[in-house]
Structure 1
Amino acid sequence: MTDPTRSAELYHAAHERMAAAVQDLSAEDLDRQVPACPQWSVQDLVAHLTGVAADFVAGNLAGAPRPPWTAVQVETRRNLPMAEVLDEWTVVGPQLEKLVVDGTTSHPLVCNPYVDAAVHEADLHGAIGSGRPPTDLWLTTLGWMLDEPGPLTVVTPDGTYTARPEDGPVATVRTTSYELFRAIFGRRSAAQILNWDWDDPAHAKTWSTTLARLPQTSVSLND
């Protein structure tokens, strides 16, 4: 579990970086497709992030974080000026941070909003080259996501993690922490995961399609 103050700080910093990255973008750049979220533009991605904060603050958690829930966030803000969307995020972001620090909710997504922010900051980088999230953000995210024993051991230069999807052989693999971070959220293709340093090719074949916790991209991403 991430300390509430630390969770709020990580989220706050990610919010500031992403807002700064998009506030002066042209209409053409805002309409650019996000490779890791091919159904979304950059505008849509920021609409989602703003909508997540607003919904968490309002207690609108029914269906979170499934696509119908996020679709409403995006559609509601799709045609608004980016400045207006960012103004809303400026209001609801600090409200969410206060909610996290006050400890009045135990919902894991609400308590750890930096996780979704981390994933989408990396997505935004892939779309506009705004820069990878800081290392401490994705390492904290990995620590939260992979915090229980499991059959897959992933060795990285920053630490060793275990993954525990429903099924899978006992296996060991070596990769970088950033690649693992992107892979568990579906941002790496099976072909990319197969190219990690596996202890056994058979294990690689199985885990390359079962490691991701979110739907896996069918194309290789380089972000």
Structure 2
Amino acid sequence: MDANTSAGLYRDSRERMTAAVRSLGEADLDKQVPACPQWSVQDLVSHLTGVAADFVAGNLAGAPRPPWTAVQVQTRRNLSIDEVLDEWSTTGPALEQVIVGGTTSHPLVCNPYVDASVHEADLHGAIQSGRPTREAWLATLDWFLDEPGQLTVITPDGTYQAGSDGPTAVAHTSSYELFRALFGRRSASQVLEWDWDTPSNAAAWSMSLARLPQTPGPLDD
């Protein structure tokens, strides 16, 4: 993907989330995010703001592991949502300039729309406000699934392959469900419900894809 497209996808996601969150009251900002139950809605926005700030500053040590993201949230713990969003309105465009300027080749920094699109879906799931645009999750699938693998997933939008230790298998589902499952936002039981070639393959891959411990149960977003 070219730099301008990547920066544009990130900008659009940032602007959509900013608009959605600015109108929220305190009760909604304090809601637990089902896909990230250790975070409230405001914590989620603090993380996204912190990602932009860290990427611009070149603070990549430990990215994107939990200790790295925890600092982003804790640093902004006592700020109002307006202060957090105001910071993002500065660091976000600065990150977009880094991408377009081509001063780094780090895959996370060059493609921040991937993390943003995942968390935009998390946000929508928490406040029941729909989904990100198709463009966002399809671009994420194209970026994430760019290598041949043992698992072939056929969706109405295309055919994708994923590699792991699972058996050679074929499954049919929607692009959105694949997008959410790849980032641990679907439980093993939800992945089992895809249209699989054989039940034994489904059991092996459902455990591999639903790999994040915060989603043992189904998510509905």
Please state which band the TM-score falls in when normalised by the shorter chain. Answer: over 0.9
2:150 alignment counterpart:
151
1:169 alignment counterpart:
167
1:152 to 1:210, Cα distance in 2 relative to 1, 3 A: same
Q: Distance in 1 between matches of 2:144 and 2:125?
A: 22
On the 8 A contact 2:120/2:132 being kept in 1, the answer is yes
Q: Distance in 1 between matches of 2:213 and 2:171?
A: 21
Q: Distance in 2 between matches of 1:72 and 1:82?
A: 17
Q: How many residues end up aligned between the 2 structures?
A: 221
Gaps of 5+ in 1: none
Q: Distance in 2 between matches of 1:26 and 1:216?
A: 26
Q: Distance in 2 between matches of 1:203 and 1:71?
A: 36
TM-score, normalisation: structure 2:
0.98
Match of 2:209, SS state, is: coil
On the 8 A contact 2:147/2:162 being kept in 1, the answer is yes
2:84 is the alignment partner of 1:75: no
Aligned identity (percent) is: 71
On the 8 A contact 1:188/1:216 being kept in 2, the answer is no
Q: Distance in 1 between matches of 2:218 and 2:210?
A: 14
1:31 alignment counterpart:
30
On the 8 A contact 1:198/1:204 being kept in 2, the answer is yes
Gaps of 5+ in 2: none
TM-score, normalisation: structure 1:
0.97
Q: Distance in 2 between matches of 1:46 and 1:77?
A: 10
2:111 is the alignment partner of 1:112: yes
Report how far residue 24 of structure 1 moved.
1.9
On the 8 A contact 1:184/1:214 being kept in 2, the answer is no
Counterpart of 2:139 in structure 1: which amino acid? T
Runs of 4+ displaced beyond 2 Å: 211-216
On the 8 A contact 1:11/1:114 being kept in 2, the answer is yes
Q: Distance in 2 between matches of 1:132 and 1:68?
A: 28
